[in-house]
Structure 1
């Protein structure tokens, strides 16, 4: 019998995997995929879902996003620096202050893009941040117990350098690692074990280190320190946003 050749990057044969960005999400398939973008897409999603807001991920903030929002009678998040009084942006602060919003189109070049990329993959896609890592792990543990053959993958979104290349963001490594560490799971890939170990190493020093990492310093420098404060609310949320029919809503 000829065995099919699988990609060495797919992390086959393990119950849990880990990788970075859109390319990693394409290379490492899972039955359940947790997308992690701590500063700030998945943090913003957890804040929204805590408030009962449905989130529609979208790749770009352009005229197509305007039409998309109209299609679903949803508010469209504006740029973080463009948000005026009463307007919502990728900033979790603005979402927490929002009133009367039931549906929100939330573009972002990293986490939102990956979630939308995975929408046709057949996987169950979750939005995970430091705020809900334990809740998400508890939810996944129950499903893994029901299906011992299923595989879970955590994808750290990362950021982008000015040339468009991936900038691995340590806050996303921590968020993915915290989620993986909380799984009751044997048989994690070396990459997943490394992510979990990275979180375990710093767990006792959060949220301070989130403020001190490059992403936290960047947002603070740009005038959004409260976004970092919200992102550092470790395990404050029990919401597990799951992608269904193009929108992220609370798990059932």
Structure 2
């Protein structure tokens, strides 16, 4: 048996990063992508406002062209924002009224969650955007539709300076929150050991997930840069029923999907 086949016998699978996405995707009815700080949190907040979101792999000039071609607003890096620009900060989008400003489409570049979402969609997989804010609602949505078909979960992780994958604990917890919604009181025999480990990691931290998120490496990094509000927005567990589903290149609310 190869590593790529290791979770193939399980109904619910979990892994990390782009390669992990390739491993859990085959045969899956849905794959949940989790990037808590901050892609899927920003995505969830935007879709809550009725904004269609196009995930984009690269943060370069090509993103400007894509946004212009689709008549969309481009989200820029927090530190690069000028007057009137939207950033990748979920707090900035939460506090904005984009629809009132005539914005109904947003391009979100991200080398982690966004790139993984596009990678999965290109492989023909139905992608669900999951954050702590909507993990319960997303799990219920998937459970109602997946039946006995497999479900994959991908923790996007972050990057070390050399470009290698850095497993990020906030994504483990976000994945676990989604898996907790799928599992009910306890994981059944359909959960891979990897999926069960993510679930129990979340259950262990859930009573204090907000403070744990603030003190995580990613949380401390954002707070150090002056974006403590983004961490607070990300730590709001179960506050929305919106379920971003990637359809024809754009994330839309699952309630509007047929």
- State the 1:10 CA deviation: 4.3
The separation in 2 between residues aligned to 1:56 and 1:62, in whole angstroms, is 15
Per the alignment, residue 71 of structure 2 pairs with 73
User: Secondary structure of the equivalent of 1:155?
Assistant: strand
Verify the 8 A CA contact 1:178 1:199 in the aligned structure 2. yes
The separation in 2 between residues aligned to 1:199 and 1:79, in whole angstroms, is 29
Higher helix content, 1 or 2: 2
* Count, aligned residues: 245
Per the alignment, residue 138 of structure 2 pairs with 136
The separation in 2 between residues aligned to 1:23 and 1:172, in whole angstroms, is 16
Q: Which moved further from structure 2: 112-121 or 128-137?
A: 112-121
Q: Which moved further from structure 2: 190-199 or 97-106?
A: 97-106
**Aligned ranges 1:140-155 → 2 under 5 Å:** 140-144=142-146, 147-148=147-148, 150-155=149-154
Residues 117-158 of structure 1: per-residue CA shift (max 9 Å, x gap): 1112222100000000000011011013xx32x111110000
Q: Normalized against structure 2, the TM-score is what?
A: 0.91
User: Secondary structure of the equivalent of 1:183?
Assistant: helix
User: Secondary structure of the equivalent of 2:22?
Assistant: helix
The separation in 2 between residues aligned to 1:9 and 1:175, in whole angstroms, is 24
Verify the 8 A CA contact 1:31 1:122 in the aligned structure 2. no
Per the alignment, residue 114 of structure 2 pairs with 112
Q: Normalized against structure 1, the TM-score is what?
A: 0.94
Verify the 8 A CA contact 1:242 1:249 in the aligned structure 2. yes
Verify the 8 A CA contact 2:24 2:153 in the aligned structure 1. no
- State the 1:8 CA deviation: 4.8
Q: Given the alignment of the two structures, is residue 239 of structure 1 paired with residue 242 of structure 2, yes or no? A: yes
User: Secondary structure of the equivalent of 1:207?
Assistant: helix
The separation in 1 between residues aligned to 2:138 and 2:161, in whole angstroms, is 32
Q: Which runs of 5+ in 2 are unaligned?
A: none
User: Secondary structure of the equivalent of 1:206?
Assistant: helix
Per the alignment, residue 121 of structure 1 pairs with 123
The separation in 2 between residues aligned to 1:9 and 1:38, in whole angstroms, is 27
Q: Which runs of 5+ in 1 are unaligned?
A: none
The separation in 1 between residues aligned to 2:83 and 2:90, in whole angstroms, is 14
Q: Which runs of 4+ in 1 moved over 6 A?
A: none
The separation in 1 between residues aligned to 2:34 and 2:5, in whole angstroms, is 19
The separation in 1 between residues aligned to 2:84 and 2:229, in whole angstroms, is 17
Q: Given the alignment of the two structures, is residue 161 of structure 1 paired with residue 157 of structure 2, yes or no? A: no
Verify the 8 A CA contact 1:87 1:94 in the aligned structure 2. no
- State the 1:63 CA deviation: 1.8
Per the alignment, residue 180 of structure 1 pairs with 179
**Aligned ranges 1:183-222 → 2 under 5 Å:** 183-184=182-183, 186=188, 187-222=190-225
